[in-house]
Amino acid sequence: MPETVEQKINSLEKKIENLQNQRKDRLSMVIFSNDLDKILAALIIAVGAAAMDTEVKLFFTFWAISALRDKNKNAKGKDMKSRMFGAMLPHGTNQLKLSKMNMEGLGKDMVRGLMKKKNISSPEELLATAGELGVEINICEMSMGLMGFSKKEIIDYPNLGYCGVATFLADAGESSMQLFI
C-alpha cells in the first residue's frame, strides 16, 4: 500500500521532532579540577550561558567536589582513610589554589585582589548567581565515596543533586555544548 502525501509529511515531521529533541540549547560541563582558575572559568562560562537562557547542567566530579564543601559544616562518622584524605583537600572555593603561580597563596591572593579591583565576581558570588539563574549542579556519587566526602558537608545550593556517569552522559548527549574542565 503506497504512502499518501499526508502520511509522508507526518513521517517527516516526526523525524524533525526527533532531531530537535536530540540537540537542545544546553551546556553540559564536567568540572573535574579544583584549581581556583579553572573553577572560575567554569563558573563564568556557566553563569554566562544561563544568562543567555541556555540550560546549564554542571557535573562535579573528583577533585572539583572539594570546591562545594562548606567549611562550616562538619562531617562526622567517616572511616580514617576518608577522613585523612578529606582533611587534605580544600574546604570550599575559598581554599582553592591556582593551577600555576600559586606561590604559597601569593598568586592566589593577587588574582583575588585583581578580580576585586576589576569588579569580577568571586567564585562564591558566581555560585550564588548560578543558583539564582537555575544552573543545575550534579555531584558524581562515585567520586563522593572515593574522596571520602559526606553529603552533610556539601554547601546549600538550590538545585543540587547526586548522580552517576550515566545521568551525565544522557544529559550531555542531548546538549548542544559539552566541555570538560
In one-letter notation, the amino acid at residue 39 is I
Per CB under 8 A, 115 contacts its own copies: yes
Cα 130 to Cα 143: distance, rounded to the nearest angstrom: 22
Crossing angle, helix 106-117 and helix 36-51, to 10 degrees?
30
Smallest distance, its own copies to C-beta of residue 36, A: 11
Per CB under 8 A, 120 contacts its own copies: yes
Q: Which of 39, 60, 63, 93 binds its own copies (CB under 8 A)?
A: 63
Smallest distance, its own copies to C-beta of residue 156, A: 26
Cα 108 to Cα 37: distance, rounded to the nearest angstrom: 9
Per CB under 8 A, 148 contacts its own copies: yes
Stretch that binds its own copies, among 36-44, 69-77, 131-139, 152-160 (CB under 8 A): 36-44
Stretch that binds its own copies, among 69-77, 78-86, 127-135, 154-162 (CB under 8 A): 78-86
Cα 133 to Cα 67: distance, rounded to the nearest angstrom: 19
Q: Which of 75, 128, 133, 181 binds its own copies (CB under 8 A)?
A: 181
Q: Which of 58, 60, 61, 149 binds its own copies (CB under 8 A)?
A: 61
Cα 1 to Cα 128: distance, rounded to the nearest angstrom: 60
Paired with 160 in beta bridges are: 137
Q: Which of 87, 105, 124, 180 binds its own copies (CB under 8 A)?
A: 180
Cα 181 to Cα 54: distance, rounded to the nearest angstrom: 19
Stretch that binds its own copies, among 70-78, 97-105, 125-133, 154-162 (CB under 8 A): 97-105
Stretch that binds its own copies, among 29-37, 69-77, 127-135, 152-160 (CB under 8 A): 29-37
Cα 155 to Cα 128: distance, rounded to the nearest angstrom: 11
Burial of 121 (0-12, 13-18, 19+ CB in 10 A): middle
